[in-house]
Chains A and B, each alone.
Chain A
């Protein structure tokens, strides 16, 4: 075991010269404003080695999952497939990593006791939570854009080899969403989906504090609820789950064919997920204010 374990697990890095300088420049502003809270959250997140690995894993799983899905869809059998949706299948895998990252952002502070230091430094708890939300949004936004662009690029590369023919104008630029249209909506929507999953996870983790409970609840919502929704024998409940469960509703943004048959429209579905994320953050924020850390 490396000596650096305590530093890693608490997220504290020995203070660098840059930070010392910064603090001495503006002592009266230190740790009061949102920008300092943001800076603190960014420092905590970016100096833990697991963050980089998780983001890399998120990109690898998303692009790898999407490329595999594109590779196994062959045209004579499934010519009617929704190719844009197929090429974004990897989001199903990448979202788990995003959830882990967002849950750890707050629950690892609880498990190490770091949260007390954080709250001593940023006493306004909603500011602290907002700073975490902004930082995780930024990080997931960048990661999600890379992962989605990689997925669409892989589909553009793989699908023609599987017998799919695309009309003129459906070249690389179309796939990457530069012409607007369905790849742009599905691709940008998938990035937003990942961001909303991160915010939802952050909210849940703030509310329950324990990382194991939080990740179990979030992954249950992301995977077990859709499985039960697929299998449930009552059509009314099937429809309810497809319309109102966070993952089912949110992933409606990926559909580009037969939109009229969807239980919920693409943007409305993403809106449902946004409502879940907002509710989780609100509940987390309220509990954060009400409870001792």
Chain B
């Protein structure tokens, strides 16, 4: 075959192509940045300020002298709460347990000094079931708190769930349990594999999930359990700086209990696994004498009525020492905001913008090139500052007595460590781009910097001044949502913990919060590009 070569390619100047390229534009913007000594020094200051402030904050973080909560160590080595009433018997080898739950009720003891005149906290007990009150069947390695387990359970407000080893949670049938709509639950063990099923009628079964519990002993404890976590609310007072913990108790009715593979002739034994922490509604409270039932089991004609308090869940501490310490990065962030705004306002001040736009008449491309350059520089500054500070801060926190089981060691390269460090860089990058966009709109540095601080940082302080609900909405809707990236404590959907701005807790998940900031930056950049094209420079 003969290949013909085209020789008459149309002439195109290489230089022209080069000048027109976006790469050249990026290079021009990078040259502008790196040749202004104040800006380079400013970015180096961002790195230093971020690292120094974080380390300094870690240095002041003495562990509190508060009494430590009763916790156990779970199979993954993390701190867990494992407190419940357990009606159990041994199970050798494989087998299964099936049960029908016909009722789950609860009581809550309102805080002793509720706000006066508040109808919700009238004297006496509230007959409400905590949304995460749990009742169901469980296969557990032993009665020791913190041992491996798998459970099928009904909850007060989250339907049927299958949970195992504290951190895993799968939803089953929705809806509350009652005598009119009972729930059937089943767990089968086959080796290390435990499978959970649920059913609304006892004949049609659905598999909810399977749990692989490595190293499960051949003889395990199987049975019924009930538990109900304390209800935690942030104080409704302005500030919300203290939380109100109301003890709760749940009672569930089980019948048609079927156990396959059990030892013949063994009866059910009732035990409290780990004492209930804090005041219990069944405790020596004067209000509770007549209406409270002590935790335990009442059995009559195959119907088991079990009452319990506590929780089977990972322990999520309220205080977040790493997250609080990383608030030191706000000082570096201030400088990043200033640099992001100046990157364009300085061009307006010196009329350099006319030269820039004469050289590159397509204005949106100029803005995008600037955004990429300032974003990349800010990302690296934040990343390096945070990466220097993280190991030192962790070390300081540890040496000052922050418990390892509650706050496990997380290296810089673990998931949570990377989230905080890379998250700080990402936060800095998008904050710089937001400042650049606002600077393009406002053209004056003071106004632009104040506006960005106003939407990004001021919500953090307003959230602590306004009532909790409004404060949390501020933390969802404003760019401040992105600070969720710096949270150190892992959060779980199945643990309802008090989450207040005062404790540095954010309602959105880390990357969702970051997406809120990105959305603001994109909208601002779009508006800036529009104005840049519309207006004379």
Report whether chain A binds chain B: yes
Binding site for B on A (CB under 8 A): 1, 65, 69, 72-74, 76-82, 85-86, 89, 92-93, 96-97, 99-100, 103-104, 107, 111, 211-216, 219-220, 223-224, 226-228, 230-234, 237
| Contact (Cβ within 8 A) B118 A89 | no
Centre residue among B115, B118, B445 by max chain A CB count within 10 A: B445
A68 to B303, CA, bound (A): 55
Given contact pairs A96-B458, A213-B338, A82 touches B238 in the complex (Cβ within 8 A):
yes
**Which of A81, A211, A228 interacts with B445 by CB under 8 Å?**
A211
| Contact (Cβ within 8 A) B331 A220 | yes
How close is A131's CB to chain B, nearest CB, in angstroms?
21
4 further interface pairs, Cβ-Cβ under 8 Å (given A96-B458, A224-B334): A1-B537, A74-B467, A216-B335, A232-B57
A111 to B460, CA, bound (A): 32
A183 to B338, CA, bound (A): 37
Name B's interface SS.
Answer: helix
| Contact (Cβ within 8 A) A231 B449 | no
| Contact (Cβ within 8 A) A72 B466 | yes
Given contact pairs A228-B330, A234-B61, A234-B62, A215 touches B449 in the complex (Cβ within 8 A):
yes
> Can you report 13 A-B residue pairs in the complex whose CB atoms are below 8 A from each other?
A1-B537, A72-B466, A78-B467, A80-B237, A92-B461, A92-B465, A213-B338, A216-B335, A219-B450, A228-B330, A230-B464, A233-B321, A234-B62
A237 to B62, CA, bound (A): 11
Whether a CB of chain A sits under 8 angstroms from the CB of B481 is: no
**Which of A111, A216, A233 interacts with B319 by CB under 8 Å?**
A233
A212 to B335, CA, bound (A): 9
Whether a CB of chain A sits under 8 angstroms from the CB of B317 is: no
B338 nearest CB neighbor, chain A only: A216
| Contact (Cβ within 8 A) A107 B446 | yes
B402 nearest CB neighbor, chain A only: A233
How close is A214's CB to chain B, nearest CB, in angstroms?
8
A109 to B502, CA, bound (A): 40
A237 to B325, CA, bound (A): 13
Given contact pairs A227-B460, A234-B60, A76 touches B118 in the complex (Cβ within 8 A):
yes
| Contact (Cβ within 8 A) A89 B466 | yes
A213 to B535, CA, bound (A): 27
Whether a CB of chain A sits under 8 angstroms from the CB of B345 is: yes
| Contact (Cβ within 8 A) B460 A216 | no
Chain A residues positioned under 8 Å from B349 (CB to CB): 111
Centre residue among A72, A232, A233, A237 by max chain B CB count within 10 A: A233
Chain B residues positioned under 8 Å from A86 (CB to CB): 238
Given contact pairs A111-B349, A227-B460, A228-B328, A212 touches B445 in the complex (Cβ within 8 A):
yes
Chain B residues positioned under 8 Å from A69 (CB to CB): 465-466
Given contact pairs A78-B236, A231-B324, A215 touches B450 in the complex (Cβ within 8 A):
yes
Whether a CB of chain A sits under 8 angstroms from the CB of B124 is: no
B453 nearest CB neighbor, chain A only: A219
Chain B residues positioned under 8 Å from A89 (CB to CB): 462, 465-466
CB 8 Å contact bits of B437-466 with A (1 = contact, 0 = none): 000000011110110011001101110111
A232 to B238, CA, bound (A): 19
Whether a CB of chain A sits under 8 angstroms from the CB of B117 is: yes
| Contact (Cβ within 8 A) A77 B457 | no
Chain A residues positioned under 8 Å from B342 (CB to CB): 212
| Contact (Cβ within 8 A) A72 B467 | yes
| Contact (Cβ within 8 A) B118 A103 | no
A65 to B324, CA, bound (A): 27
Given contact pairs A76-B119, A77-B467, A215-B445, A223 touches B461 in the complex (Cβ within 8 A):
yes
Binding site for A on B (CB under 8 A): 57, 60-62, 64, 115-120, 236-238, 319, 321, 324, 327-328, 330-331, 334-335, 337-338, 341-342, 345, 349, 444-447, 449-450, 453-454, 457-458, 460-462, 464-467, 469-470, 502-504, 535-537
A228 to B461, CA, bound (A): 10
| Contact (Cβ within 8 A) B57 A228 | yes
Chain A residues positioned under 8 Å from B345 (CB to CB): 212
| Contact (Cβ within 8 A) A227 B446 | no
How close is B56's CB to chain A, nearest CB, in angstroms?
10
| Contact (Cβ within 8 A) A92 B535 | no
| Contact (Cβ within 8 A) A216 B337 | yes
Name A's interface SS.
Answer: helix
A104 to B324, CA, bound (A): 34
Chain A residues positioned under 8 Å from B470 (CB to CB): 72
How close is B162's CB to chain A, nearest CB, in angstroms?
36
Given contact pairs A76-B117, A228-B327, A233 touches B238 in the complex (Cβ within 8 A):
no
A76 to B119, CA, bound (A): 8
How close is A21's CB to chain B, nearest CB, in angstroms?
34
| Contact (Cβ within 8 A) A100 B330 | no
| Contact (Cβ within 8 A) B117 A79 | yes
How close is A48's CB to chain B, nearest CB, in angstroms?
11
How close is A40's CB to chain B, nearest CB, in angstroms?
22
Chain A residues positioned under 8 Å from B458 (CB to CB): 92-93, 96, 223
Chain A residues positioned under 8 Å from B61 (CB to CB): 232-234
B457 nearest CB neighbor, chain A only: A223
Chain B residues positioned under 8 Å from A100 (CB to CB): 446-447, 450
A82 to B239, CA, bound (A): 11
B238 nearest CB neighbor, chain A only: A81
Chain A residues positioned under 8 Å from B469 (CB to CB): 72
How close is A221's CB to chain B, nearest CB, in angstroms?
10
Chain A residues positioned under 8 Å from B319 (CB to CB): 233
How close is B197's CB to chain A, nearest CB, in angstroms?
43
| Contact (Cβ within 8 A) A219 B502 | no
A143 to B345, CA, bound (A): 28
Chain B residues positioned under 8 Å from A80 (CB to CB): 115, 237
A-B interface, 3 closest residue pairs, ranked by CB to CB distance from nearest: A234-B60, A233-B61, A212-B445
B119 nearest CB neighbor, chain A only: A76
A237 to B61, CA, bound (A): 9
| Contact (Cβ within 8 A) A76 B115 | yes
How close is A38's CB to chain B, nearest CB, in angstroms?
24
Chain B residues positioned under 8 Å from A79 (CB to CB): 115-118
Given contact pairs A215-B450, A233-B319, A224 touches B331 in the complex (Cβ within 8 A):
yes
A220 to B115, CA, bound (A): 36
Given contact pairs A89-B466, A220-B331, A227-B330, A232 touches B449 in the complex (Cβ within 8 A):
no
How close is B21's CB to chain A, nearest CB, in angstroms?
30
**Which of A73, A77, A81, A230 interacts with B118 by CB under 8 Å?**
A77
A33 to B172, CA, bound (A): 83
A54 nearest CB neighbor, chain B only: B447
A74 to B461, CA, bound (A): 20
A104 to B448, CA, bound (A): 12
| Contact (Cβ within 8 A) B467 A224 | no
B235 nearest CB neighbor, chain A only: A78
Chain B residues positioned under 8 Å from A73 (CB to CB): 238, 467
Chain A residues positioned under 8 Å from B341 (CB to CB): 212
| Contact (Cβ within 8 A) B334 A220 | yes
A53 nearest CB neighbor, chain B only: B447
Chain A residues positioned under 8 Å from B57 (CB to CB): 228, 232-233
A234 to B349, CA, bound (A): 44
Given contact pairs A211-B446, A219-B450, A232 touches B324 in the complex (Cβ within 8 A):
yes
Chain A residues positioned under 8 Å from B328 (CB to CB): 228
A78 to B118, CA, bound (A): 9
Centre residue among A89, A219, A227, A231 by max chain B CB count within 10 A: A231
A214 nearest CB neighbor, chain B only: B446
How close is A225's CB to chain B, nearest CB, in angstroms?
9
Chain A residues positioned under 8 Å from B331 (CB to CB): 220, 224
How close is B480's CB to chain A, nearest CB, in angstroms?
10
How close is B114's CB to chain A, nearest CB, in angstroms?
10
